Chains A and B, each alone.
Chain A
Amino acid sequence: GEDVEQSLFLSVREGDSSVINCTYTDSSSTYLYWYKQEPGAGLQLLTYIFSNMDMKQDQRLTVLLNKKDKHLSLRIADTQTGDSAIYFCAESGVTGGGNKLTFGTGTQLKVEL
């Protein structure tokens, strides 16, 4: 079955870049996502990438996809204290709209002053 893995914890200083990594096993994954979860809140979609893309940039966020290695990363430039949260990598098979998401364990990002 599908599996998605992430490192559990990342600590960075404010203003530095953060890089959160994810690996997945399902070669038929079509869409790959990054969700953010703040304390007491639901899951907020940050960005997604289609599997035939290598990179996607959206303001401070850069997603890199290495399909050969099944490796996805999220880079947050100029990390701020408000970026402290848990970041989940997720994948879906065909489309994101009608298909289930398979999530990673989540990476807790702590931003220190």
Chain B
Amino acid sequence: EPEVTQTPSHQVTQMGQEVILRCVPISNHLYFYWYRQILGQKVEFLVSFYNNEISEKSEIFDDQFSVERPDGSNFTLKIRSTKLEDSAMYFCASSDGTEYEQYFGPGTRLTVT
């Protein structure tokens, strides 16, 4: 069964450093998403991406964040200068747009020290 994969599973970085979180969505999917979950809090929408551009973003997704689909298989989330409050689990999801399900990856736990 096809699945969304994410790497790394855990990333530790120092405050102010840049991080790139990587996702491989399901191959025939067209819509891509990033969500995050700060420990003990809700899963929050960050951004959706379709047809090589951002289709929607939340207030959290400020200028420090960017997304890219550098090739036909990867979807990345970059945080330019990490803050302590960026520590969270980051989930990638994808969908083909015709079904009612977004398929989620296992997440990347980002720890900013």
Decide: B97 and A97 in contact? CB cutoff 8 A.
Answer: yes
Q: Is the CB–CB distance between A102 and B45 below 8 Å?
A: yes
- Judge whether A82 is part of the interface by a CB distance below 8 angstroms: no
B105's nearest neighbour on chain A, judged by CB, is A42
Which A88-113 residues have C-beta < 8 A from chain B? Answer: 88, 90, 95-106
B72-111: CB near A (< 8 Å → 1, else 0) gives 0000000000000000000101011111111111110000
Residues from 40 to 84 in B contacting A, C-beta threshold 8 Å: 41-45, 48, 50, 55-56, 58
CB closest residue in chain B, given A105: B42
Give the A-B pair count, Cβ closer than 8 A.
Answer: 67
**A46–B91 alpha-carbon span in the complex (Å):** 17
Q: Can you list 21 A-B pairs with a CB-CB distance of less than 8 A? A: A33-B100, A40-B106, A42-B105, A43-B43, A43-B91, A43-B93, A45-B102, A97-B96, A97-B98, A97-B102, A98-B31, A98-B48, A98-B50, A98-B97, A99-B48, A100-B56, A102-B45, A103-B42, A105-B42, A106-B42, A106-B43
> A66-105 interface mask toward B, CB cutoff 8 Å, 1 = contact, 0 = none?
0000000000000000000000101000011111111111
Partner of B100, one of A44, A97, A100: A97
Q: What residue of chain A has the Cβ atom nearest to residue B5's Cβ?
A: A42
In the bound assembly, the distance between CA atoms of A94 and B42 in angstroms comes to: 21
How many chain A residues sit at the interface, stated as a range, is 20 to 34
* Neighbouring B residues of A42 by C-beta, 8 Å: 4, 91, 104-107
- Residues on B with C-beta less than 8 A from A48 are 100-101
CB distance from A48 to the nearest CB of B (A): 5
Bound complex: CA of A4 vs CA of B45, how far in Å? 13
A28-55 contact mask (Cβ, 8 Å, vs B): 1 or 0: 0001010100001111110010000000
Asked if B100 and A104 sit within 8 Å, CB to CB, the answer is no
CB neighbours of B45 from chain A (8 A): 100-102
What residues of chain B lie closer than 8 Å to A103, measured between beta carbons?
A: 35, 42-44
